[in-house]
Amino acid sequence: MLIVANWKAYVEDAKRARRLAALARRLSGKTRHEIALAPSFAHLALLIPKKKSRVKLAAQDVSATTGGAPTGEVSAQILFYLDVSYAIVGHSERRAAGETDAVIAEKARHALAHGITPLLCVGEKERDPGAEYLSIVRTQITAVMKSLSQKERMAVIIAYEPVWAIGKTAAEALPAHELREMVLYIRKVLGDFLPGKAPVKIRILYGGSVEPDNVRDLAAGSGVDGFLVGHASVEPDTFSGLIKALS
Ligand code: PGA
């Protein structure tokens, strides 16, 4: 499985970032799962993985442009030079700041063009009885997949993150059986863009209040390939507990 620690802006002190990265390296020696750290842009350069490190780096976002003048942007090429492996695109906290599906598709394209794997976040704000949330997720996936080549599509990782479950507690997260349904649904949507059994090969992560208490349940039989973990990834005991629960 792939466990991505999304530190958001929780980790502001570089010393704390280094300590958490050292913990991740220790944990990675004791688990078969892959750990990727998503610190703030400002801390990426401090955490460049050593050649043989099993801990990878992820960016929390990436620019929709490459090079040139756009002040304040961090391009996929910059990330590539920092040995970043993944970039989160379309996180709900960026969507809430006004990011559109069209911009997210551009970000995914730029990431792929520079050897960075996009972690495409999709997810509804609420669960409505009429199941409108399914078409919301379909629209978010379609907006990105339609602009990519077959080969590029195969490289995308989907992170299903229902917005209503983010930043809560394990008790309020998505129940495991509902995650299973969603994973099946997402693979069905991917079938619109990929031939035959190819959708099964796309990695799907879940995010939204993944904690040591629910991670094992969520992993068992749901069909997910990993987790995008926010608040539980920035407290050493909690993150260790979560990795241990999976191992
Ligand atoms: P959470 O955040 O684990 O704190 O719910 C997950 C995310 O937003 O990626």
Q: Which residue has the tokens 């050493």?
A: 236
**Atom number, ligand 1, closest to the C-alpha of residue 209:** 5
Asked if residue 214 has its Cβ within 6 Å of ligand 1, the reply is no
**What is the average per-residue pLDDT within 106-120?**
98
Find the 125 Cα to ligand 1 centroid distance in Å: 14
Is residue 91 part of the annotated active site? The answer reads: yes
What's the pLDDT at 51? 82
**Atom number, ligand 1, closest to the C-alpha of residue 173:** 5
pLDDT at 52 over 90: no
Asked if residue 89 has its Cβ within 6 Å of ligand 1, the reply is no
**What is the average per-residue pLDDT within 127-133?**
95
Is residue 43 part of the annotated active site? The answer reads: no
What's the pLDDT at 22? 97
Find the 10 Cα to ligand 1 centroid distance in Å: 11
Instruction: Quote the pTM value.
Output: 0.97
What's the pLDDT at 49? 87
Asked if residue 172 has its Cβ within 6 Å of ligand 1, the reply is no
pLDDT at 169 over 90: yes
**What is the average per-residue pLDDT within 83-95?**
98
pLDDT at 146 over 90: yes
What's the pLDDT at 121? 98
Asked if residue 209 has its Cβ within 6 Å of ligand 1, the reply is yes
Which residue's C-alpha comes closest to atom 1 of ligand 1? 230
Q: Which of 93, 99, 161, 211 is catalytic?
A: 161
